[in-house]
Amino acid sequence: MTAINPPISHAQMESQLGYSYVFAQQAILRQLQDTLNMMDLGVVSLVGDFTGTGTDTLRITNWGDVGFSRVFTDLANETDTITPSPIDVGYSTITVGMGGLAHSETYQDQLLGLTGRGVDLDTIKALVPNSWLATFRSKVCVVGSNFATAVGAATTTLSVDDWLDLVSAFELALGSTAPTVSMDPQQRKELKESFRDEPAFQSALDGWNDMARYDGMQIKQNFAGSGLTVAVTDDIVQAGGAYQGFAHSAGGIGWARASTGSLKVANPTGAMMIPEYGIVIEDVPGTGAQGQRKYEARTWTGFAAGSTDVFTLRRLISIV
Amino acid sequence: MAVPTKQTAAPPAPGMDLVALMDRTQSSAEVDEVRINAKPGWPFLLRCHPTQWEIATEGLDEPTALPIVMRQTLAVGCDGVRTLSKNERHKPSLAYEKAVYDSERRGFIYPPMTVEDPKHIPAGMGPGLIQYKYKCSHPRKGSGTYYGEIWDVPQQTAPGKPQRFRRDNAAFNRWRLDLVRSGIVPDIDDATFSELVHRAHGRLRRAMTVRHSTAEVHEDIVMEKRELVDIVEAMVTPMGAAPETSTRRSLSMTRAQLNTLAESLGIVDAQKLPSKAAVKAAIAEAREVASE
C-alpha cells in the first residue's frame, strides 16, 4: 500500500491507479505521403487485357500515310490511271509483369492488442489499392524516364527556356494534344523561381502571385498560364545526376492488366479480386499453423511508351 | 552519414535481382554494409542514341559534342521487361532481352558497363563496374536497393538528410569521349550537329529579344552566347577515330554555318576565315565578347 497524503492529488494518484498515457480517441494519423494518383490525370490509357490472350505481350497497332497525311494526286489527263498509294503501319508493345505485397500478424497480437488502436491486418489490407496506385505511379515514372528525347540539361537547373523548349516540341509536332508534365517537386520549385525572374512576371502581379502561391496540391492545372497540367511526385527517377521528369499527351504512356475476375484461388472464401486493377488479395491458408495470419496481394500489369509515330514524348531533365 | 566510397565486388545475389545476374552488365558492385537515406530504385543498362548529342566542356580540353547517355531502367512490367516464368530461372536475362532488342531496333547502342581507364573513374573509386548498389531506406518510399553509377560520388551528408551525391562530370565526359574515339558510338553527323546549332541559336535569339533589360536577362544572353561559342568550337574540334576526315567535315560545316553564328555573336565574318587556327582565334575573341 502507498500512503497518499492530503490533499489527494493527481500527481500522487497517477502512478498508483492511473495510466501514464492513453491513446486519444481519434483516427490514427498517417505519415506524410506522396499521394499523386496518376489515374486522376487521365493521360495513362488502358490499352488492353492480357487475360485469356495466350501471351504476355500485347501489340498496339498504329497506321499513317492515310487521310490527312495523303492528298489526292493531280491528274494531268482525264484518262490518266490512278496509281494506288502505300500506307504505313506499325505497332508498340506492352509486356505484363507481376507484382506482390504481403503483411502478416500473429494471433497473439490480435488478442492482446489495444482495442481500437487502428493498426491491424484488415486495415492494412484495405490499403492495398493505394499501394497499387503508388506502384502504378512509379512504373509510369520509369517508362517516362526511358523516353529517348530530352529537353533541359543534366548540368543545369530547370528554367523557363527549358519549359519553352518543351512547349515548342509539342506545338511543332502538329496533331499533338496538350501534354501533362510530371516532374520532381524540386524541378517545380526551380521552374517557379525561373518564371519569377522573367521580366514579364516582374511587372505583372497576377503572374507573380501565381508563382509565389503555396502549391501543396500535386496536380496543377494551367501551370504559369501555359495551359499545361503539371503533376509532381517523388517517384521521378533520378539518373545520370539529373531528375528525369517527362511529358506526354494522353495515351503517350499506356498500361494493360490481366483481369483477375476469372481467377480461381486456393482459398476463395478469404480472397478478394479487383479485376479492373488486375489485383487478387487472399488470406494465405496454412499460416495459422505458425500462430499467425497473412495476406498476399498480387497484380499483373504492364506499362509502355506509345509509338513516337503517334505521340510526342519528351523527358524534362535538370540537375539533382 | 559517412559513406564509404570503396567498392567491393560481391557475388551475384539470388532471386529477381536482375542486374546481379545480367549477361551484359555482369554484376553490380555492392558497397559495403551501409544503408543510405535514398529512394529504392531498379537496376539499369546504359544506352545512347546516334541522334542524341550535347556539347560538354567539363574535364575536356575543349568543348566537344558527346553522345547523351541515358538509362534503360529494368523494372518488371515496364517497357518490355517481364516476370520470368518458373522454368526460366536459369537465364534471368530473358526478363529484359526483348526490351533490349526493341531498343536496338530503334537505333540505341549499348556501351559496355565497365570502366578501366583511371581517367574515366572518379577519385577514390576503383576500376570495374559502372553500376553499383547500396541498401537504402526512404521515409516515404520504403527500403530496398539504390542503384547508382560510378560517377555519382557519395558525399558526407547530415544525419537524417537524404544522401547527397556529387556527379563527376569530368570523368563521365572523358568516358563518353572515349566511346566515340573507340568507335563504339559513331561520330555525330552533320544533321544532328545542325540541330544543336539550331536549338542554341533559338535560345540566344529569345534571350536577346526580351525587351526588359535586367541583370538576369544580360546573364541569360551571356550564357546562351557561351553555349553557341562552345558549339562553334566543338565544330572545329576533331574528335572521331579518323581525325583527318573529322576535321574536314567540321571545317566545311563551320564555313556553311559560321556566317549566321557570327552575325548572332557580332564577332567575325566567317567567310574570311582561312584556316582552323583562324576559326579558333575567332572563337577566343567570341568567348571574350560573351563574357563581357
Q: Is the pLDDT of residue B286 over 80?
A: no
Determine the residue of chain A that is closest to B54 in CA distance. Answer: A153
For the cut 60, the answer to whether the pLDDT of residue B277 exceeds it is: no
- C-beta atoms of A146 and B77 within 8 A: no
Q: Which residues numbered 157-176 in B keep a CB inside 8 Å of some CB on A? A: 165, 167, 169
B105 in reach of chain A (CB within 8 A):
no
How far does CA A57 lie from the centroid of its chain?
Answer: 22
Q: Does A199 touch chain B (CB under 8 A)?
A: yes
ipTM attached to this prediction: 0.86
C-alpha cell at A247: 511529358
- Stretches where chain A sits below pLDDT 50 are none
* Cβ within 8 Å of residue B190, ≥6 positions away: B249, B253
Angstrom distance (rounded) from CA A298 to CA A101: 7
- Identify all chain A residues contacting B152, using CB atoms and an 8 Å cutoff: 241
Which of chain B's residues have a Cβ under 8 Å away from the Cβ of A48? none
* Chain segment B201-221, per-residue pLDDT in tens: 777 777 766 655 566 666 666
Find which of A217-221, B65-69, B188-192, B250-254 is predicted with most confidence, using mean pLDDT: B65-69
In chain A, residues 202-261 whose CB comes closer than 8 Å to chain B? 202-203, 234-235, 237-241, 244
**The residue to which cell 476469372 is assigned:** A262
Q: Measured between CB atoms, which of A239, A301, A319 is closest to B71? A: A239
The pLDDT value recorded for residue A138 is: 95
Best interface-test mutation with B: which of A135, A146, A198, A303 has the largest number of B CBs within 10 A? A146
Residue of B14, B175, B140 whose CA lies nearest to B84: B14
**A172 reaches B (C-beta below 8 A):** no
Q: What confidence score (pLDDT) does residue A286 get? A: 73
Report the chain B residue with the minimal C-alpha distance to residue A33. Answer: B140
pLDDT of B254 strictly over 80: no
Nearest CA in chain B to A301: B77
Res. B18: pLDDT tops 70: no
Give B236→chain A minimum CA distance, Å.
Answer: 23
Identify the pLDDT of residue B280: 60
Say yes or no: A171 contacts chain B, CB-CB below 8 A: no
> Which residue in the set B77, B79, B199 is minimally distant from A146, CB to CB?
B79
pLDDT at position B63, please?
81
A289 φ, ψ (degrees, to nearest 5): -60, -25
Q: DSSP states of B190-258 as a string?
A: HHHHHHHHHHHHHHHHHHHH-SS--HHHHHHHHHHHHHHHHHHHHHT---SSSHHHHHHHHHHHHHHHH
Indicate yes or no: CB of A97 within 8 angstroms of CB of B76.
Answer: yes
- When CB atoms are compared, the residue of B42, B68, B210 closest to A142 is B42
Predicted confidence at residue B268, as pLDDT, reads 42
Average pLDDT score over residue span B68-92: 90
B165 to A143: CB separation less than 8 angstroms, yes or no: no
CB contact at 8 A, B18 and B74: yes
B40/A contact by beta carbon, under 8 A: no
Judge: B77–A301 Cβ closer than 8 Å, yes or no.
Answer: yes
Share of chain B above pLDDT 70, in %: 60
Q: What is the 3-state secondary structure (H, E, C) of chain A?
A: CCCCCCCCCHHHHHHHHCCCCCCCCCCCCCCCCCCCCHHHHCCEEEEEECCCCCCCEEEEEEEECCHHHCCCCCCCCCCCCCCCCCCEEEEEEEECEEEEEEEEEEHHHHHHCCCCCCCCHHHHHCCHHHHHHHHHHHHHHHHHHCCCCEEECCCCCCCHHHHHHHHHHHHHCCCCCCCEEEECHHHHHHHHHHHHHCHHHHCCHHHHHHHHCCCCCCEECCHHHCCCEEEECCCCCEECCEEEEEEECCCCEEEEECCCCCCCCCCHHHEEEEHHHCEEEEECCCHHHHCEEEEEEEEEEEEEECCCCCCCEEEEEEEC
Contact status of A309 with chain B (Cβ, < 8 Å): no
Mean pLDDT of chain B: 73
Contact A97 B75 (CB under 8 A): yes
Distance separating alpha carbons of residues A108 and B137, to the nearest angstrom:
29
* Total Cβ atoms within 10 A of residue A292: 16
Least confident of A56-70, A159-173, B65-79, B122-136: B122-136
pLDDT category of residue B195 using cuts at 50, 70 and 90: confident
Q: Do A148 and B52 touch (CB under 8 A)?
A: yes
Mutate to test the interface with B, among A131, A135, A238 (most CBs of B within 10 A): A238
Alpha carbon distance A315, A231 (integer Å): 14
**In this predicted structure, what is the pLDDT of residue B27?**
43
B166: closest chain A residue by CA: A241
Q: How far is A18 from chain B (nearest CA, A)?
A: 35
Instruction: Give mean pLDDT, residues B233-257.
Output: 47
Higher pLDDT, B239 or A118: A118
Residue B291 has pLDDT above 90, yes or no: no
Checking if the pLDDT of B69 tops 90, the result is yes
As given in the structure block, the three cell numbers for residue A126 are 484495405
CA–CA gap between residue A40 and residue A37 (Å, rounded): 6
pTM of the model: 0.83
Q: Is it the case that residue B266 has pLDDT exceeding 60?
A: no
- Torsion sign over Cα A160, A166, A172, A178: negative
A-proximal residues of B, 251-280, CB under 8 Å: none
CA distance B292 to B290: 6
B65-94 residues touching A, CB cutoff 8 A: 68-73, 75-83
> Do the chains contact at A96 and B79, CB–CB below 8 Å?
no
A105 CB-near residues (< 8 Å, 6+ apart): A120, A121, A292, A293, A294
